Amino acid sequence: MRLVGIDERVPMVGYCGFISAYKGLEMLIDAVSKIPKSALLIGGGWHTDPGTPYIASINERSQKLLSTRCKWLGFVPDDELPMVYGAMDVVVYPSIIATESGALLMALSHGKAVIASRLAPFVEKEKLGALMTFKGVNSLAKKIRLL
């Protein structure tokens, strides 16, 4: 049974963390749009006011490219994280900049397959076999299909 009512035979790509321009959600939305039989679940609070042009633009982008294949959960309380991660088949962190990611570590602690941007802190974890990294939308889509 899925958290959001999407057919459980459809692979669920997920993101859970703060929502902000440097998190790279546009790239994630674009990549999932290249995989027709997939869905995207986004959970997280806003780093900025939800009424900003950035938030409006990613909402519009997800509607245009994914329509009903994208579900926005908003802020997810800690006690609901196991249920949310349980609904995801793969978790993606497409950050443009990062020094570390508590959300990424949380996804790993829930035993999820994780794909992250090819940034220094994530490349180190890839070397340990903890996750896969990507560079660019096509690379991300390819790795999502792989998992």
CATH of domain 12-146: 3.40.50.2000
Residue 114 contacts residue 93 (beta carbons within 8 Å): yes
Q: pLDDT category, 63, cuts 50, 70, 90? A: very high
Once rounded to an integer, what is the mean pLDDT over residues 126-133?
Answer: 85
Q: In what order do the strands lie in the sheet with 113-117?
A: 70-74, 39-43, 12-16, 90-93, 113-117, 132-134
What are the residue boundaries of the structural domains of the chain, listed by start?
Answer: 12-146
How does pLDDT run across 81-117, given as a tens digit for each residue?
999 999 999 999 999 988 888 899 999 999 999 999 9
- The 8-class DSSP code of residue 38 comes to -
The pLDDT assigned to 3 comes to 61
- Number of Cβ atoms within 10 Å of the Cβ of 84: 20
Separation of alpha carbons 130 and 114, rounded Å: 8
Separation of alpha carbons 144 and 28, rounded Å: 10
Bridge partner list, 43: 16, 74
pTM: 0.89
The pLDDT assigned to 121 comes to 87
